[in-house]
Amino acid sequence: MEYSRKSGVLIHITSFPSEYGVGDLGHPAKLIIDYLRNAHQKLIQILPAGPTEPFFDNSPYSSISAFAINPIFISLEKLVDMGLLKKEDITQFKVEESNFVDYNRVIENKFNAFKIAFKNFKETNDFYQFCEENSYFLDDYSLFVVLKEKFNGKTWQEWPEEFRNRKKEALLLAKESLSEEIRFVKFLQFIAYKQFLEFKDYANNNGIKIIGDIPIYVDLSSADVWANRNLFNLDENGYPIKVAGVPPDYFNEDGQLWGNPIYNWKAHKDTNFDWWIKRFKNLLKITDIIRLDHFRGFVAYYAIERGRPNARIGEWINAPVYEFFDTIKSSLKDMPFIAEDLGLITEDVVEVIKHYKIPNMRVLMFAFDGSPTNGYLPHNYENPTVVYTGTHDHNTCKGWLKFEVPDTSKAYLKSYLGHEPSIDTIHRDLMRLALSSIAYFSIIPIQDVLGFDGTARMNSPGVAHNNWRFRLKTSDLNDDDFAFLKELTDTYGR
C-alpha cells in the first residue's frame, strides 16, 4: 500500500446528524463528506459496520455477522427516491435532533418503514445478482436471522437439535416455509450494500478514502459460528472449549474475559484461510483501508478455559501469522491495513508489523507519562504509523485533561506544549501535535475536532450500558472548527 501524508476524522455512521434519530447513508453521509472535503481531509474512519444487538448495548464490536451491514444505516429518504416509500410514510419517523441515539426507538421506527418498503419492492436483476454474488454469507445469514426470531431470540446452541446442528432436511424445510421472511432479510442487505457503495463512491469522488474496522473475533451467537463450526474451537454442543480475552495488567487485575470463541487455526490453514480472504474482500467492497482490531491476536492469542470467572488463568498460543499474512497478501495483491497495536505489545508483534510494513497506531493520550522516550510522543514516531488524539474507547481531549491526567503528567504536558494546558483549548493543542507529526496518517475523532467535553465520548470500556450512542446535531457542525482543521492540514502538508 502506498502511503503519503493525509489527515482525516474518526466518526461512526450512527454519529452522523439526522432527522431520523441515527446517522445513515443518505443525506447525513453526504453532509459529513462535504465538510471533510472543504476542510481538505482525505480520510474518514468508521467503526465496524455489522448488525448490532441490544443485548450487547448495540456495540459495533459485537455483531451477529462478520459480513452483513447494519440495516439501521439505511436511509429512509433514499428509499423514497427509489419509489419504495412516500414522503408521508417517513415523516412520522422524524425525531428531534439530539446528541444521543435512542436505539430502541430508531430500530422500531426504521423496521416499520422497511416493512412498508418491502411490500412495494419488486425483485430485479440487480437483486438476483446481489443475492448470487453474496450467497457465500447471505444464505446462511438470512436463514440465521429468521430462525433466531422464530426461536424467540435464543442463541443457536439452544435451538432444536436439527437446527442447531444444521440438519439438511430441516434447513430446506425452513427455507421453504420461511421464504418470505428470508427474502426480507436479503432485501435489507441489498439496500444496505447499495447505499453503502453509493456512499463510498461519493467519498472517493471527493478525494476521501474510507477506513473500515475488523474486530479480530466474532460473536459466539453469530451466523458465522453457526455456519462454520469447524473454524472455531467448539465442543459437540457448539460451546467454546476456550474463549478469548487478555491477561491481567496494570489497569485490570482480573484481565479481560471477552468470551468470544477462539479460532481453530489448523482448520483455517487447511482451507487456505478462505473465510478470512472472503471477509477482507467483503469489507474492501465498501471501504478502502482496514483497521485490524487487536492485531496481537494474529501473532499469539490468549486462551481461557470456558467457565472461568475471569482472565487471570489462561495461556498464550501462537497463531500461524506469517502463513496467514502471506496468503492474504497474495490474494489481495496489497496490504491495505492498519494494525491496532495498543496496550502491552511484545517483540514478536513488532517484528510482524515491521516485516509487512503495516502502519501501527499512536495515541497522544498515552504519551504524557513524563518520559521523553515514551513511544506515543510525536518525536519518537517511526513510519509507517497513524496518530490519533484518542480513539472510540477514549475520553474526548477535554474530558481527558479534566478527569484523567494527573498533576505530574500535566507538568510534562505543559513542557511539551510550551504553555499551560487549558481545558478550553486542549483539543486544538493535541490536534496540532497530531497533524504536525511525521506520521503518515493523522486521524482526529469528530468530538475533538468540534471541542466536545467528556459527555460526548463514544465508549467507556468496562461500563456495560449507554455506550455507542453519541451522535451529532446538524447545528454542531460549525465552520470555525472545520476551518481550524483545514488550516492545520494545509500548514503541515496533509
Residue 340 falls in the annotated catalytic set: yes
- pLDDT for 2: 80
pLDDT band at residue 463 under the 50/70/90 scheme: confident
pLDDT band at residue 464 under the 50/70/90 scheme: confident
Catalytic residue among 77, 198, 274, 393: 393
- Digit-coded pLDDT (tens) for 80-117: 999 999 999 999 999 999 999 999 999 999 999 999 99
- pLDDT for 138: 98
Q: CA-CA distance, 141 to 68, in Å (whole number)?
A: 8
- pLDDT for 107: 97
Average pLDDT over all residues of the chain: 97
Smallest CA-to-CA distance from 485 within 418, 438, 431 is with: 431
Average pLDDT rounded to a whole number, residues 310-320: 97
- pLDDT for 55: 85
Kindly report the CA angle at 92 between 89 and 93, in degrees rounded to 5? 95
Smallest CA-to-CA distance from 469 within 60, 90, 62, 28 is with: 60
Q: CA-CA distance, 350 to 338, in Å (whole number)?
A: 13
- pLDDT for 219: 97
Q: CA-CA distance, 142 to 329, in Å (whole number)?
A: 30
Q: CA-CA distance, 485 to 482, in Å (whole number)?
A: 5
- pLDDT for 300: 97
Smallest CA-to-CA distance from 161 within 222, 240, 238 is with: 238
Q: What are the angstrom distances between the C-alpha of 407 and each of 65, 203, 284, 413, 420? A: 44, 42, 44, 10, 12
- pLDDT for 343: 85
The DSSP call for residue 440 is: S
Give the full edge-to-edge strand order of the sheet including 256-261.
256-261, 242-246, 300-305, 315-318
Catalytic residue among 340, 341, 448, 481: 340
**Cell representation of residue 125:** 436483476
- Digit-coded pLDDT (tens) for 105-153: 999 999 999 999 999 999 999 999 999 999 999 999 999 999 999 999 9
Residue 34 falls in the annotated catalytic set: no
pLDDT band at residue 250 under the 50/70/90 scheme: confident
**Cell representation of residue 142:** 438470512
Q: CA-CA distance, 449 to 491, in Å (whole number)?
A: 16
- pLDDT for 249: 82
- Digit-coded pLDDT (tens) for 15-35: 999 999 999 999 999 999 999
Average pLDDT rounded to a whole number, residues 426-436: 98
Instruction: Answer yes or no: is pLDDT of 462 > 90.
Output: no
Q: Is the pTM of this model over 0.95?
A: yes
Quick check: helix, strand or coil at residue 192?
A: helix
- pLDDT for 212: 98
Q: What are the angstrom distances between the C-alpha of 279 and each of 183, 243, 320, 408, 485? A: 23, 21, 18, 45, 34
Q: Is 305 left (phi over 0), alpha (psi -120 to 50) or beta?
A: beta
Catalytic residue among 224, 293, 429, 481: 293
- Digit-coded pLDDT (tens) for 145-187: 999 999 999 999 999 999 999 999 999 999 999 999 999 999 9
- pLDDT for 217: 97
Question: By the 8 A CB rule, do 25 and 78 touch?
Answer: yes
Lowest mean pLDDT among 243-257, 354-368, 447-461: 243-257
- pLDDT for 418: 98
Which run of H or of E encompasses 405? none
Question: Among positive and negative, which fits the CA dihedral 46, 48, 53, 59?
Answer: negative
Residue with cell 465496524: 48
Which run of H or of E encompasses 325? helix 321-332
Residue 293 falls in the annotated catalytic set: yes
- Please compute, for residue 397, the number of CA atoms within 13 A of its CA located in the half-sphere on the CB side: 29
